[in-house]
Amino acid sequence: MTETIQRKINDSAFARWTALVLIASTMFFGYMFVDVLSPLKNLLETSRGWNSTVFGLYGGSEFILNVCGFLIVAGIILDKMGVRFTGLLSASLMVAGAAVKTYGISEYFCQGGFGFEFFSSFLTDIPASAKLACLGFMIFGCGTEMAGITVSKAIVKWFTGKEMALAMGLEMAIARLGVFAVFSLSPWVAELGSPSVVRPVAVVGVLLCIGLLTFLVFTVMDRKLDRQTGAAAAAGEPEEQFKVSDLRRLFTSGTFLTVAALCVLYYSAIFPFQRFATDMLQSNLGITAKQASDIFRWFPIGAMVLTPLLGSYLDHRGKGATMLLLGAILMTACHLIFALVPLTPLIAYSAIILLGISFSLVPAALWPSVPKLIENRLLGSAYAVIFWIQNIGLMAFPIIIGWSLNVSNPGVAEQIKEGVEGAAYNYTVPMLIFSCLGIAAFLLGLWLKAQDRSKGYGLELPNIKK
Report the sign of the C-alpha dihedral through residues 251, 253, 254, 260, in that order.
negative
Confirm whether 234 is domain-assigned: no
For 34-111, strand residue ranges (E) read none
**Final residue of a domain: which of 173, 199, 228?**
228
Query: Is-contact 54 130, C-beta < 8 A?
Result: yes
Query: Is-contact 166 368, C-beta < 8 A?
Result: no
Please give the tally of structural domains in the chain.
Answer: 2
Check whether residue 219 and residue 252 sit in a common domain: no
Check whether residue 196 and residue 325 sit in a common domain: no
Check whether residue 298 and residue 198 sit in a common domain: no
Query: Is-contact 465 161, C-beta < 8 A?
Result: yes
Per-residue pLDDT of the chain in tens (466 residues, 90 and over written 9): 344 446 788 778 888 899 999 999 999 999 999 999 988 988 998 889 898 899 999 988 988 998 888 888 888 888 888 899 999 999 999 999 999 999 999 999 999 899 999 999 998 889 999 999 999 999 999 999 899 889 988 998 888 777 777 888 788 888 888 888 898 899 899 988 788 999 999 999 999 999 999 999 999 999 988 887 774 444 444 444 555 566 677 777 778 888 888 889 998 999 899 889 988 999 899 888 888 888 888 887 777 777 777 777 877 777 778 888 898 999 999 999 999 999 899 999 999 988 988 888 887 777 777 777 777 667 767 777 887 888 888 889 999 999 999 899 988 888 887 777 778 889 999 999 999 999 999 999 898 888 888 887 777 777 666 5
Check whether residue 315 and residue 189 sit in a common domain: no
Which CA distances in Å does 197 have to 45, 187, 356? 11, 9, 27
Check whether residue 344 and residue 413 sit in a common domain: yes
Check whether residue 180 and residue 309 sit in a common domain: no
| Listed residue (52, 123, 65, 50) closest to 97, CA to CA | 65
* Structural domain containing residue 60: 16-228
Give the span between the Cα atoms of 197 and 130, in whole angstroms: 12
Confirm whether 9 is domain-assigned: no
Confirm whether 304 is domain-assigned: yes
Check whether residue 256 and residue 146 sit in a common domain: no
Check whether residue 273 and residue 183 sit in a common domain: no
Check whether residue 274 and residue 383 sit in a common domain: yes
| Listed residue (359, 352, 356, 358) closest to 337, CA to CA | 352
- 281: domain CATH number? 1.20.1250.20
Check whether residue 32 and residue 178 sit in a common domain: yes
Confirm whether 324 is domain-assigned: yes
